[in-house]
Chain A
Amino acid sequence: QVQLVQSGAEVKKPGASVKVSCKASGYIFTNYGITWVRQAPGQGLEWMGWINTYNGNTNYAQKFQGRVTMTTDTSTGTAYMELRSLRSDDTAAYFCARDRDDSSGPGGHWGQGTLVTVSS
């Protein structure tokens, strides 16, 4: 069955970087893109960006341009999201989600979420 397993919780200081991983299994990794979404405590879902796992093309939300990098390792079926210059308002749960069968964008398969806490 399709599974997306994310890396564990992180605590970072302001100004640092964090790299969250999302390991896929149960399907052909390069057949589906991966979306990254975050959710600050008590807030709504926020789309961060999307990566084409076949060719590495990305589409980032304007808000994160220059601060986020999404990559993949096709040999292990893992997607990564790195966020730099962390601030306290980057404290959030970060989710990865696989494309649907018929279109890009988050579908029915999500990772469990990774809590990133930014605090001095």
Chain B
Amino acid sequence: SYELTQPSSVSVSPGQTARITCSGDVLAKTYARWFQQKPGQAPILLIYKDIERPSGIPERFSGSSSGTTVTLTISGAQVEDEADYYCYSAADKWVVFGGGTKLTVL
């Protein structure tokens, strides 16, 4: 089985850059996605194929990959970016979400 490990929390001030990492052996052989979830809402896809951003997602959200770690970067974090963030990946028949990272912007 595969696991994806994220920090439980990240905190930044408005306007700063937030970086959230996701680590796991599976990431060396397959892509990751990033989702944002606010309380009481369904998740929103932010990044797919490690670095691609769907239409409608602000440019301040970007993804990168190196070896067995992918990183979600929020450049110039805004108060409305305060949310939970989850990485996701799949290989063979194994599919997994990371444990989630609570981003605080204040």
Residues of A within 8 A of B (CB): 37, 44-47, 50, 59, 61-62, 95, 97, 100, 103-108, 110-113
Decide if A107 touches B45 in the complex (CB within 8 Å): yes
| Bound-complex Cα distance A21 to B60 (A) | 35
| Bound-complex Cα distance A62 to B94 (A) | 9
| Bound-complex Cα distance A37 to B98 (A) | 13
Decide if B48 touches A47 in the complex (CB within 8 Å): no
| Bound-complex Cα distance A106 to B90 (A) | 11
Q: List 29 A-B contacts (CB under 8 A).
A: A37-B97, A44-B97, A45-B37, A45-B43, A45-B86, A45-B88, A46-B97, A47-B88, A47-B96, A47-B97, A50-B95, A59-B95, A61-B95, A62-B1, A95-B43, A97-B42, A97-B43, A100-B45, A103-B48, A105-B88, A106-B33, A106-B45, A107-B45, A107-B48, A107-B54, A108-B44, A108-B54, A110-B44, A112-B42
**Chain A residue, CB-CB nearest to B52:** A102
Residues of B within 8 A of A (CB): 1, 33, 35, 37, 42-45, 48-49, 54, 84, 86, 88, 90, 93, 95-100
**Chain A residue, CB-CB nearest to B31:** A103
Decide if B43 touches A106 in the complex (CB within 8 Å): yes
| Bound-complex Cα distance A59 to B96 (A) | 13
| Bound-complex Cα distance A105 to B88 (A) | 9
A110-B97 contact given A100-B48, A105-B33, CB 8 Å threshold: no
